[in-house]
């Protein structure tokens, strides 16, 4: 079954059960604490918090999500994309635990002829919060699950909250056993590769207070309005239903891998590192496409920097696969064609967004052309220096990293990644010091220009305010957002 059809089936199933079908919100998060929408519930937060009255008691959506936190997992696990789609069903003070478990079980185990996904009930495992006996009883009664396939987990894994005063509650996660060839027996608490998490049910039933830690925080009491928030990974379900090994091989992603195969002349499945690169390319090109379609453009900070980083990483992965020619003009249209069944606007906007993407690739090619030799020289120097001390790991100096940044436009994470490929560390502390010295110099210069000569007290004041407001240096934004 194609991904677009699995998606539609979801919406049809919940719509037939009284849920309002709500279109995906754009990827740009309405919540200022994150750059992007990271879960299906994000657009519904005001209803969950009771700040706004929901126009409907129940709703369903297939929400576009970006989680840059998962970037290092991409291509290495079977299940993490930087972009993915989260199918959700939501109840705002309407049905609760029993309803959520009943719907989930029915949809995943009903036959495909009956509108379900047709998973074999014997392959389903669930986890529940350790003292949520109610959920255990419901899973037994509704699904007939045996005790050993209901596993209990603690706060960290199976208790949801926003991290501050507000709604909170236990979760129950649904896993599919992919079979003994994929890992050890014993359920998801033992092996999350073999047992693939597909769906998270969150039962918002308590109000929590500020304070505490991730493992223990104060609960104020029951919520007046109990809510259901669920999220099912569309790509994960698609990869299981399509009988492929991972989410990068589904119909919506695989064509880009095939494009990388064609361009590089390498075979997918022949070499582990090359396979990871091809999956990274396919993932990042798609994420870039979806971000640009929602209006993000490459830049040096915030969302634009994440986009830049995704595009650059995919271009570099192509280089490591031996492709020197521009790759996006081939790969981006493949991604568009794979995604346009669900997102027809991609075709409409393609002219605009591809122009931006191709220009970004050209600019990055120039950056690489001028900086790569300098980086290689610095790496060789670091290795030579390390050879003089036994067991020392080579370290590229802060001065070299700074020069790459300042003269050749290499952002620090590019230097970090390229150095890492050569087994070389980077002296980040020294780099940061040089960066802040440069900022102070620039400020002093600006001030001196304005005042003729800098009044020392005024300068110190300004310096203090600026340092405060720059407590989070923009250069590192790409690492810290969710
Ligand atoms: P995992 O433990 O595998 O990282 P998670 O517990 O972080 O997943 P949730 O926050 O519970 O995921 O999100 C709900 C669902 O969204 C998951 O059950 C999964 O199916 C899907 N999902 C989460 N992260 C990703 C991702 N990076 N790529 C694809 N699907 C994802
Ligand atoms: Mg995760
Ligand atoms: Mg998980
Ligand atoms: Mg989860």
Give CA–CA dist 297/304, Å, rounded: 5
pLDDT-flagged residues of the chain (< 70):
449-482
200 CA distance to ligand 3 middle (Å): 8
Reported as a single tens digit per residue, the pLDDT across 58-72 is 999 999 999 999 999
Question: In this structure, are residues 103 and 14 in contact, taking their beta carbons and an 8 Å threshold?
Answer: yes
Q: Closest ligand 1 atom to the C-alpha of 173? A: 18
Cα of 181 vs centre of ligand 3, distance in Å, is 21
- Interval between CA 153 and ligand 3 midpoint (Å): 11
Pick the closest to residue 313 from 338, 283, 289, 293 (CA basis). Answer: 283
Q: What is the pLDDT of residues 192-239, one digit of tens each?
A: 999 999 999 999 999 999 999 888 999 999 998 999 999 999 999 999
Residue (of 79, 26, 67, 481) closest to 253 by Cα position: 79
Q: What is the pLDDT of residue 409?
A: 84
Indicate if ipTM > 0.95. Answer: yes
In this prediction the pTM is 0.88
Name the average pLDDT for the chain: 91
Residue 192 CA to ligand 3 centre (angstroms): 8
Residue 252 CB less than 6 A away from ligand 1: no
Q: Is 36 in the pocket of ligand 1 (CB under 6 A)?
A: no
pLDDT recorded at residue 481: 34
Instruction: Give the C-alpha separation, 44 to 160, whole Å.
Output: 16
In the chain, the N- to C-terminal Cα span, in Å, equals 31
Q: What is the pLDDT of residue 22?
A: 98
Predicted confidence at residue 450, as pLDDT, reads 65
Question: What pLDDT, on the 0 to 100 scale, is given for residue 464?
Answer: 38
Cβ burial of 151 (10 Å; 0-12, 13-18, 19+) is buried
Residue 276: predicted pLDDT? 97
> Is residue 14 in contact with ligand 1, taking CB distance under 6 Å?
no
Residue 481 in contact with ligand 1 by CB distance below 6 A: no
What is the distance between the alpha carbons of residues 426 and 274, in angstroms, rounded to a whole number?
25
Residue 214: its pLDDT value, please?
85
């Amino acid at each position: 079954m194609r991904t677009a059809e699995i998606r539609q089936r979801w919406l049809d199933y919940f719509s037939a059960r009284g849920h309002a079908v709500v279109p995906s919100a754009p990827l740009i998060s309405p919540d200022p604490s994150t750059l992007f929408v990271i879960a299906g519930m994000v657009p519904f937060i005001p209803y969950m918090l009771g700040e706004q009255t929901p126009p409907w008691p129940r709703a369903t959506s297939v929400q576009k999500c970006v989680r840059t936190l998962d970037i290092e997992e991409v291509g290495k696990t079977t299940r993490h994309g930087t972009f993915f789609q989260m199918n959700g069903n939501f109840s705002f003070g309407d049905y609760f635990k029993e309803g959520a478990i009943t719907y989930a079980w029915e949809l995943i185990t009903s036959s495909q002829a009956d509108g379900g996904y047709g998973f074999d009930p014997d392959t389903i495992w669930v986890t529940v919060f350790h003292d949520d006996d109610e959920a255990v009883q419901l899973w037994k009664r509704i699904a007939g699950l045996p005790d050993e396939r209901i596993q209990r987990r603690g706060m960290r894994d199976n208790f949801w909250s926003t991290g501050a005063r507000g709604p909170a509650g236990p979760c129950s996660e649904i896993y599919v056993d992919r079979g003994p060839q994929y890992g050890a027996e014993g359920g998801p608490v033992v092996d999350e590769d073999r047992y693939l998490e597909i769906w998270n049910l969150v039962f918002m039933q308590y109000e929590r207070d500020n304070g505490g830690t991730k493992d223990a925080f104060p609960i104020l009491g029951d919520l007046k309005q109990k809510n259901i928030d669920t999220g099912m990974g569309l790509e994960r379900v698609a990869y299981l239903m399509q009988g492929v090994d991972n989410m990068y091989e589904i119909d919506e992603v695989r064509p880009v891998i095939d494009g990388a195969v064609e361009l590089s002349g390498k075979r997918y499945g022949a070499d582990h590192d090359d396979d990871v690169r091809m999956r990274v390319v396919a993932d990042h090109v798609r994420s870039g496409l979806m971000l640009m379609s929602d209006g993000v453009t490459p830049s040096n900070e915030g969302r634009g920097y994440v986009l830049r980083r995704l595009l650059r990483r995919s271009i570099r992965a192509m280089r490591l696969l031996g492709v020197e020619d521009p790759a996006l003009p081939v790969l981006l249209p493949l991604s568009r064609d794979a995604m346009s069944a669900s997102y027809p606007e991609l075709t409409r906007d393609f002219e605009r967004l591809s122009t931006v993407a191709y220009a970004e690739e050209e600019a990055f090619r120039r950056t690489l052309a001028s900086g790569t030799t300098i980086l290689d020289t610095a790496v060789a120097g670091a290795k030579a220096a390390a050879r003089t001390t036994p067991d020392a790991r080579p370290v590229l100096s802060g001065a070299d990293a700074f020069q790459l940044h300042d003269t050749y436009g290499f952002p620090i994470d590019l230097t970090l990644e390229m150095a890492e490929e050569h087994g070389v560390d980077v002296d980040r502390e020294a780099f940061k010091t040089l960066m802040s010295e440069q900022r102070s110099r620039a400020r002093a210069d600006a001030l001196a220009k304005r005042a003729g000569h800098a009044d020392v007290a005024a300068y110190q004041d300004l310096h203090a305010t600026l340092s405060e407001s720059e407590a989070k240096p923009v250069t590192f934004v790409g690492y810290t957002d969710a």
